[in-house]
Structure 1
């Protein structure tokens, strides 16, 4: 408690002030918590002095409410920067927000091994047989593909846990996004697909994202889309991944909000999402006062979408996506972004948009810096 009081004074958390007339002071209380490490061992005891917020009245004691959250990419950016820079040494972090941090000559590896083990235990999948990929190649999941699953609560809680695992596991992002679309009424087929993800995780418990030291602070992104892939509504799936030098710092697999009328439109919407992420990352660096290369490259395997990004002529078939068109063209014209072509077989974002065969899946995972530390095996 003494340490907490010293910290409050040092950081000027609170200021002493005169209590206005007609007002009653809000009380405080001590909250205690036991902090544990990745092995479940007691690391330290934490005490916090907090205000009794339940005694406050809206419009009198406070006017705005908010929940402070952090974007996952921010955490990965900090770890990525911590490997190309010399920082003040405050001790090595080993366990942070459920993420385990491992150090080696190759760099810093983030994984969630303990979290996976706890999830396997919770779902009674500790002794399951591992599999090579998190999804079945020929299975088309849709809303009413089988009878309803008898325990929808288990399905929803498991999918929620898998969503948190995507903090360090881009390899399961696509299938977790797909399974998240059936939370309202999961079927036995959906639960079977969910168990396959758990089987895949059983065989790749030590896998995580590797951050390597690099003198290069350039941003590049891979953007892709699987046109009309949803059996239920024919909406497309967008996927992109962003690299800072050799390090993967951001990725996304998401169902598009509207039906795309062509593969070009689907790919273009994916380009827009990747561009927006690059713009945000650049603003983040600007706030930190870190200089990076001014122009970022987005790799796309759709020639029509690339042409649309630089061609100032509108066609009838593109008027309904004018917002995305103008947004990307503005960034291309200002030389913040450059869209380049690459062959489909070199498209890293494929792993975020569709099921693929095991050999290619494992190859793409390696290129996405998804590795297992030898010391963890």
Structure 2
């Protein structure tokens, strides 16, 4: 049966992405009809290159390179700042009471002035950290139109060719400001995502929905970080009442000392087709189709900041979604994994948390 899975992975790549599978790079924006026919309906990603003169004709592409402009424009704004010990939130970390097992940890979130948020992000960079945390300014609740409304005139309110093809405006528009330590673990979203980098770079690993069994989705107990400014320390507590979150178990960048162990635990990931690697530069847009798995790292600009805006459009819960749920529900692939000293069965359960760090 594993050979049939492998055939599926290869056929999806060949049929949707070509005989030498790669992510299309467009040098002119698609028309609504081109987007609908060639990408949206086929659940196929693409990059709209910065070389296209009409890619991002936003004031933001020049204005937001000035920290002074951002500070002046948002001088009276309060924003949500996410704090973690390592820069990884909505990710797996050792269980607070049993280090041999894992839990799903969410960031400590605090409201702060935009000025203090920028200071915290800059102070928590790699090799230059004076803090015991990594800071990331974002909130996945339409924060660009809410917390950062003073900047709204600097960007398009929607992506016109996507809006026309999809038949509606984006449900949410979000702003992300982070540094070189901010990292997003593998996950999928039930949205059609148009992701635009304004400054710095974003580095994506992408896998199609049919690779779901390579993600080793298991249910993990949910936990929350809390940060004390007095002690400058984090505490990780399990949620009460208890809650479990289905999450991808694979870390695509294990430490060298851990790599052999990771390969043995997750052979479908490491021995299958390589993820698509995409670097999104300033001025470029990635169309990330619904339910594609993605892992994200970033490289900041010369100020130490990466700034991006993404547009979440509702996906169609159609036959494609039914096929994916059926595939994910198949239980023929349940390898036993060594999690610490105990062996547990792999859980390939349905579902995923919709909104993630990026």
How would you bin the TM-score normalised by the shorter chain?
Answer: under 0.3
Q: Which structure has the greater CA radius of gyration?
A: 1
Return the structure number with greater strand share.
2
Given the two structures, how large is their TM-score scaled by the length of structure 1?
0.22
Given the two structures, how large is their TM-score scaled by the length of structure 2?
0.23
Return the structure number with greater helix share.
1
- Where relative contact order (Cα < 8 A, 6+ residues apart) is larger, the structure is 2
